[in-house]
Amino acid sequence: MPRTSGYRWAQWGDLNAFFGLMLDNVTNLVLLTGILVGVYGYPAESVYRLMIPGTALGVLVGDAIYTWLAFRLARKTGRSDITAMPLGLDTPSTVGIAAAVIGPVYLETRDAVTAWQVGMATLMIIGIFKLALSFLGGWVRRRIPQAGLLGSLAGIGVTLLAFFPLVRIFSAPVAGIASLGIILYAIVARRRLPFRIPGAFFAVAVGCLLYYLMGNLGILGARAAAPVLELHPSLPLPTLGFLHGLDRALVYLPIAFPFALITIIGGINNTESARVAGDPYRTRDILLTEALATIVAALFGGVAQTTPYIGHPAYKAMGGRAAYTLATGLFIGVGGALGALSFVIEAIPEAVITPILLFVGIEIVSQAFGESPRKHAPAVAFAILPAVAYLVLTHTDSLLDKLGPAPALPVAVTAELGILRALGNGFILTAILWGGLLASLIDGRIRTGAAYALMCALAAMFGLIHSVSPAGSVYLPWRLDDPLAWQITLGYALLAAFLYFARRRPAARAAQPSDRKGIE
């Protein structure tokens, strides 16, 4: 059996890789805190003491196992250049759970513990889904077109990861635009900085320097007080508190299932990317690890799932081996337990760190169009639309909330809000189904398209998509007074019937150029 005595598991390249992976995780924690505290008014102390320790523990567990898998692969292959798979907090679902689950529950209940328990329960559901899907990921990947899966992610990239960070960048434009410029230069355009300084680290360092320097000079309009080193120590302890939030969390199945599915598919793609780069990890090992780390996080109070990160070849090119994942896991996990991460989160202004999220959003959208077949570009664009509806819905609800309790609205406005709510609720699952539907039609698989339309009808009937409930909850349709749910269901059912009978026509054909006259 090959020996591993020659495995160089730690080298200078691990430092660059560490900064990249660590800052990605810190960015997600800043975003989680910023959304809950800044948008929904959730108590910051509860985020630091209840949510972050368990969330950080999930990262520690996942990165520790991936580090061990790198040693095992080095022993198996006898190679000294094995790079560990990067793992961290999943950005889309971190944003999604904060903005679409925890925040709304807190606004409804004004109870920080209840909202936390629902977040935990939702994460536990995601973890269980991932555990089951880790054995079925390949089958699911073959059945659902990339346009549906990547298009749903692109919608999140355009809205939650691009629009909202852009707003935060311009809240402090001097530091924000400077940080954004460095991200665009060093990471998006892939231009090397002097002395091989990590782009993400340099962007945050320059942004923070400008933010506090300009703030102290009064150029920002208000003085930016330097953060006080105030720790919020809280050891992650196992809790069954998620059981108390399970009833409410079941309402968010349309959010939980797509997030689990997307990270499993991403894990499969990332493992293949690592194999091509020369590190042949077993796909099931990678998927089971991310599922286990997510469940551990939920059991210890976490609210954000872990996932293998895109870019293993990039970390390998940086010279990373196994030390960078171990160091990241220890930094995030121990820092979360000691409360040191709260200082880091408060010290880095949102305007400075959100350009990294903007980059992630750009990459996700680019990947959706680049990795999907070119002819499926209309399906990707179609799949983005439900997320746009959710963005408008979120902003509208935020504005109405600022008007005070239950503002009186004209009937026409109330009706428009009901339609907007139906379009935005369950937007991730809607995007997957819409993308799969149109991609199937483009491929000429009309019967499959009819099946997607029928799935849309069934999902809409029970509120899994297009829920007419203000909270976006699932329901039994015969208990509803709102006819919109039945109308949407009937519309999809008629579409399914049309596609089914169109497929059975012997003269069925693709549209000819003459059929398109008048619309081009």
pLDDT digits 0-9 by tens, 454-507: 999 999 999 889 989 876 777 888 888 889 999 999 999 999 999 998 876 654
Task: Output the average pLDDT for the chain.
Answer: 85
> What tokens appear for 67 in the block?
């580090």
- How many of the other CB atoms lie within 10 Å of CB of 334? 14
For residue 278, pLDDT beyond 80: yes
- How many of the other CB atoms lie within 10 Å of CB of 464? 21
Please give the helix or strand (H or E) that residue 28 lies within, else none.
helix 13-33
What Cα–Cα distance (Å) separates residue 263 from each residue in 76, 132, 268? 27, 13, 9
pLDDT digits 0-9 by tens, 350-375: 888 888 778 777 877 887 888 788 99
- How many of the other CB atoms lie within 10 Å of CB of 381? 17
Average pLDDT over residues 390-407: 74
pLDDT category at 221 given cuts 50, 70, 90 is low
Q: What is the pLDDT of residue 143?
A: 75
CB-neighbour burial class of residue 205 (10 A; exposed 0-12, middle 13-18, buried 19+): middle
Map out the domains of the chain as residue ranges. Answer: 13-371, 374-504
pLDDT category at 513 given cuts 50, 70, 90 is very low
pLDDT category at 204 given cuts 50, 70, 90 is confident
Contact 121, 251 (CB under 8 A): no
How far apart CA 183 and CA 357 sit, in angstroms, is 10
Measured in residues, the chain has a length of 520
Average pLDDT over residues 434-454: 94
For residue 27, pLDDT beyond 70: yes
Region at 2 (left for phi over 0; alpha for psi -120 to 50; beta for the rest): beta
CB-neighbour burial class of residue 476 (10 A; exposed 0-12, middle 13-18, buried 19+): exposed
86: which DSSP letter?
P
Packing angle of the helix pair 13-33, 323-338 (nearest 10 deg): 30
Q: What is the pLDDT of residue 13?
A: 81
pLDDT digits 0-9 by tens, 139-165: 766 777 778 877 877 787 788 778 878
Q: What is the pLDDT of residue 253?
A: 81
Average pLDDT over residues 308-332: 87
How far apart CA 170 and CA 10 sit, in angstroms, is 39
Q: What is the pLDDT of residue 38?
A: 80
Region at 404 (left for phi over 0; alpha for psi -120 to 50; beta for the rest): left
pLDDT digits 0-9 by tens, 252-265: 887 788 788 878 87
For residue 519, pLDDT beyond 60: no
Q: What is the DSSP string of 262-285?
A: HHHHHHHHHHHHHHHTT----HHH
Q: Which residues in 279-312 are b (16+ Cβ under 10 Å) and which e? A: bebebebbbbbbbbbbbbbbbbbbbbbbbbbbbb
Average pLDDT over residues 174-200: 87
Average pLDDT over residues 112-129: 96
Comparison of pLDDT for 433 and 144, the residue scoring more: 433
Q: What is the pLDDT of residue 517?
A: 40
Q: What is the pLDDT of residue 515?
A: 45
What Cα–Cα distance (Å) separates residue 298 from each residue in 40, 162, 236? 22, 27, 11
For residue 512, pLDDT beyond 60: no
**CA neighbor of 432 nearest in space, from 236, 278, 250, 265:** 265
